[in-house]
Amino acid sequence: MRKRLTVSAALAAALLLTNPAGAAGAVGASGAGDVYYPQYGNGGYDVSHYDLRLKYQPATDQLEGTATLLATTTAALSRFNLDFALTVQDVQVNGRKARFAATGEHELEITPVASLGKGERVTVVVRYSGVPSTVTAYGFTAWQRTPDGGVAAGEPESAWWWFPSNDHPSDKATFDVSVQVPDGTQAISNGALVSQSSRLGWTRYSWRQTKPQATYLATLAVGRFEIDSSVTESGIPVTTAYSRDLGENAGAARASVGRTGELTDWLSTLLGPYPFATVGGYVPNTRPGYALETQSQVYYSPRIFSSGSNTSVVVHELAHQWYGDSVSLERWSDIWLNEGFARYAQWLWSEHENEGTAQELADWVYSSKPADDPFWTVLPGDPGPDNQFHAAVYDRGALAVQALRNAIGDEAFFTVLRGWPAEHRYGNATVADFRRYAEQVSGKPLGDLLQTWLYTAGKPAAGTAPALKAVTEPKSWQQIKATDTLHDAH
Ligand SMILES: [Zn+2]
């Protein structure tokens, strides 16, 4: 999705070896152990809460912040890392000034005055500032400067440009994000807007996410927005926000994102109760053409609506609230659990709208990709970091879901679809966990089927593929295809 240097496995192993965690007073690892992104996240502690108190000046892109992290050590630590790219002025650990150093592309090494014991509660306060659009890691910035402000929404990278964190989805935490911006400008983040107050020309917006959230699902947008509030039929508060600067995309954006409440209630009938206290979506005046399932406050680029409304993309991002946000991937290689199911939800929406059944969409995808198409070389179950958001993760990923449905039948399938988000609500899970769960619900062994569809290069034989008949393009196909660039940042 983005230009990025991938640290070699050998180098990653060396980094882990020089940073052994676990011994008394050891140095916390500089990565969380993710094979795809060895330097993302850190070792030695778990964060339970982020309190971010920010001030942002749209005219200059200047961001100032104080981040307070509540964490618990998982090892005795003489030193530990956070992931961060802006300039740090001061760090305190448990109320005492700590030494700190910026190293690597996005590491902040913190040395408390005294070693921390294993299982100790730790409060870390980091004061910082910077102009995020000018700060790069691996040669890029994920911060999107807009004519009236800036936006942080990116996967997997986004947090480094606005708050220090343990930047890996395996360490989820609750968030309070309070942002001061000049009067007349709005600030948007995840969850509920719990207060808004103005003083001396500045307005403070305070947002609260009360359920565990992965760091890449945290978002911040500052700009001139119109913010709308409503409540869904089932009672979920909805907040939507639109840049005042969407031009000719404004109508189509509202006609799509404005249906967030209705589509959330519809998805609840398939995926179980909506997992969060609030739901929403915002459309800033950014340029890249992607969307991201930022938790309970989805990010949509206006370009998605440049050829008209698209409810399919809203269904995709809202389905992630169950598949990806509430149940998060344990490692980035588990991406099929996010994208295969979010894409499949689009197929179910098509079915609901009488624009082609999921089976017809599966037939269409299967038949439109010849056996020698490189599409079939990408493994949705382990696509590698460079192909993490390849179309095959979505389309072949959804074909795998349809193959599962055909193998276990509709009754067991929809029980799995609804039961999985309840089974791991607010936690993390792997593809192997999913297999065990689906086998338990259906009573059928699924190893061969998942091996074929997720882990084997080449076009699966028609025997395990959806039933082939005369295949025509489903009505919904163009709208679904228009969402193929969902995660392409550039
Ligand atoms: Zn997605």
Phi, psi of 143 (to 5 degrees): -70, 130
The region that residue 104 occupies, defined by phi over 0 for left and psi between -120 and 50 for alpha, beta otherwise, is left
Strands (E), 131-224: 143-146, 149-152, 173-182, 186-188, 192-199, 202-213, 220-223
CA of residue 420 to ligand 1 center, whole Å: 18
Q: Indicate whether 19 pLDDT > 60.
A: no
Q: pLDDT of 398-420, one tens digit each?
A: 999 999 999 999 999 999 999 99
CB-based burial of residue 245 (10 Å sphere; 0-12 exposed, 13-18 middle, 19+ buried)?
middle
The H-or-E segment that residue 410 falls in is helix 391-423
Rg (CA), the chain: 22
pLDDT at 17: 41
CA of 107 to the centre of ligand 1 (A): 28
User: Cα separation of 389 and 384, whole Å?
Assistant: 9
pLDDT in tens, 90-145: 999 999 999 999 999 999 999 999 999 999 999 999 999 999 999 999 999 999 99
In this prediction, residue 486 carries a pLDDT of 65
Q: How far is the CA of 455 from the centre of ligand 1 (A)?
A: 20
- Name the helix (H) or strand (E) containing 283: strand 279-283
Contact 206, 191 (CB under 8 A): no
Task: Tell me the per-residue pLDDT of 221-237, one tens digit each, with 9 for 90 and over.
Answer: 999 999 999 999 999 99
Model pTM? 0.94
Pairing of β 173-182 and β 45-57: parallel
Can you tell me the mean pLDDT for 436-450? Answer: 98
- Whole-number Å distance, alpha carbon 380 to ligand 1 midpoint, is 13
The SS3 call for residue 188 is: strand
Cα 343 to ligand 1 centroid, rounded to whole Å: 7
Return the percentage of the chain with pLDDT > 70, whole number.
92
What does the pLDDT read at residue 24?
60
Paired tokens of 459: 């076009």
Q: Could you tell me which residues are beta bridge partners of residue 121?
A: 72
Taking the C-alpha atoms of residue 132 and residue 141, their distance in angstroms, rounded to an integer, is 8
Residue-level pLDDT at 488 = 52
CA 387 to centroid of ligand 1, rounded, Å? 14
Which residue, among 438, 476, 442, has the nearest Cα to 343 in the 3D structure?
476
Which pLDDT score is estimated for 467? 54
Q: Compute, in angstroms, the gap from residue 223 CA to the centroid of ligand 1.
A: 25
The one-letter amino acid at 60: T
Predicted confidence band of residue 6 (pLDDT cuts 50, 70, 90): very low
Give the mean pLDDT of the chain.
93
Q: What is the greatest pairwise CA distance in the chain?
A: 71
**Mean pLDDT score, 260-267:** 98
Name the 3-class secondary structure at 78.
Answer: strand
Q: Which two tokens stand for residue 329?
A: 């991937």
Q: How far is the CA of 486 from the centre of ligand 1 (A)?
A: 7
Residue 311 DSSP label: H
Distance, CA of 209 to CA of 193 (rounded, Å): 9
Q: Is the pLDDT of residue 256 over 50?
A: yes
Please choose, from the candidates 337, 433, 438, 445, the residue with its C-alpha nearest in 3D space to the C-alpha of residue 382: 337
Per-residue pLDDT, 461: 87
pLDDT band at 449 (very low <50, low <70, confident <90, very high): very high
Secondary structure letter of residue 327 according to DSSP: B
CA–CA distances in Å: residue 344 to residues 139, 141, 267, 379: 34, 31, 12, 17
| Per-residue confidence (pLDDT) for residue 386, from 0 to 100 | 95
Residue 316 Cα, ligand 1 centroid: separation in angstroms? 6
In the three-class reduction of DSSP (H, G, I as helix; E, B as strand; rest coil), residue 456 is classed as: coil
Q: Please list the alpha-helical segments (H only) found in 247-390.
A: 250-257, 260-271, 311-319, 336-352, 358-368
Confidence category of residue 18, pLDDT binned at 50, 70, 90: very low
Sign for the pseudo-dihedral over CA of 154, 58, 63, 69: negative
For ligand 1, the distance from its centroid to the CA atom of residue 231, given in whole angstroms, is: 25
**Ligand 1 mean position to 234 CA, how many Å?**
25
For ligand 1, the distance from its centroid to the CA atom of residue 337, given in whole angstroms, is 10
pLDDT of 10:
42
